[in-house]
Chain A
Amino acid sequence: MKTLLQLSNIFHDRINTIKSIRNMKLITHNMLTSNALKTVKEGYPLQIYVDEVKQVDVDFQQQFITKTVSKLNWKALLFGAKCIGHSEGLPETLPENWESNDELLKKLHHVLLEIEVITGSLECPETKRRFPISNGIPNMLLNEDEV
């Protein structure tokens, strides 16, 4: 039986030939932890290291961004934004009237949806184990001896 990681490597060569359409956004970063590693307690938020990043245009949809932000962990969002150098103008905590703050919502729309990481890595804050992001997809698979 192959390990998941070995299996993932089989795909790698294949992926490198694909033109990427969509890549990792901060929304995804908010959903990821390294706490499946056996010694890790929180593993959250992960440090982002960026090798290749791009900006895309996404239509602003107020309802979508409001709903999204309400579901996200603000601290992790802010931390992620700092990692990729786009935290300017974001408050330390989400202000009370944020749903009606157009300027803030547009800023959040930009940082969450329009900045994409194509290549880089995510680092566990506790063990410093790195997870690669290649072709815009974070790979969180672990070796059997890490679980």
Chain B
Amino acid sequence: MSEISIKTPSFNHLSAADLDLIYAPSEDTFLLIDALEKDLKEIFKLEPCICLEIGVGSGVVITALGSALGPSSLYFGTDVNEFACKKAEETAHLNGVTLKTFCCNFVDSVPDSVKGSIDVLIFNPPYVVTESDEILSSPLASAWAGGEKGREVIDKLFPSLSSILSPRGVFYLLLEKNNKPKEVSSILEQFGIFKSQAVIDNGHGKKNCRV
């Protein structure tokens, strides 16, 4: 069977000044897109209705998924950075994807009734190991500074994860080895019945967690 590919969205509209304030599409961004591409057939089979990216940033990842899956799903993005929300919508729009964003922490402002119906959840978290006080220390730092083990932000999401995903939902989380991915897997198991597997592992490594 031929592999289905995902087109990398264009993001020429992002100026150098923009990239001072939002996380520029980088190696890990494309790695996450690669992981989605690798799983695309599985994702298609889910017939997802709602796809949401936490920390949407430039919007490149969810736009890539949106252009591959088409308008049969709704696409949403959240970010604590209002400017990123705006830019992400622009990225999606320029690539023919309808993405709606709103500014909030994780998915805190999404009603419980909707939370349980997210079929594809994506998160390229702030995972870099830093001092705790670097988290949210500047606009751009909110995109990468992860505190101890690079996990201080990530770990806050886990307890609510099983109530966010739909029964068939999948969660794509990008991690690197300093985040102790194995430890993350066992934490996830504590909070639900997640089966997690690395989709791509290249030292950066990524986890794909299924309910």
Contacts and interface: CB of A to CB of B under 8 A. Distances in A.
B68 interface: no
Contacts of B76: 28, 31
B86 A7 contact: no
A34 B109 CA distance: 6
A15 B50 CA distance: 27
B202 interface: no
A137 B132 contact: no
A22 B132 CA distance: 35
B74 A137 contact: no
Interface residues on B, range: 35 or more
A75 B21 CA distance: 38
Interface string B1-34: 0000000000000000000010000000000000
Interface in B66-87: 71-74, 76, 80-83, 85-86
8 interchain residue pairs of minimum CB distance: A140-B109, A140-B104, A33-B111, A11-B83, A36-B108, A139-B103, A28-B100, A64-B71
27 contacts: A1-B132, A1-B133, A11-B21, A14-B21, A15-B83, A15-B86, A22-B93, A24-B102, A27-B74, A28-B102, A31-B102, A32-B109, A33-B109, A33-B112, A36-B104, A43-B111, A61-B71, A63-B71, A63-B72, A64-B72, A71-B49, A73-B113, A136-B86, A137-B82, A138-B102, A139-B82, A142-B108
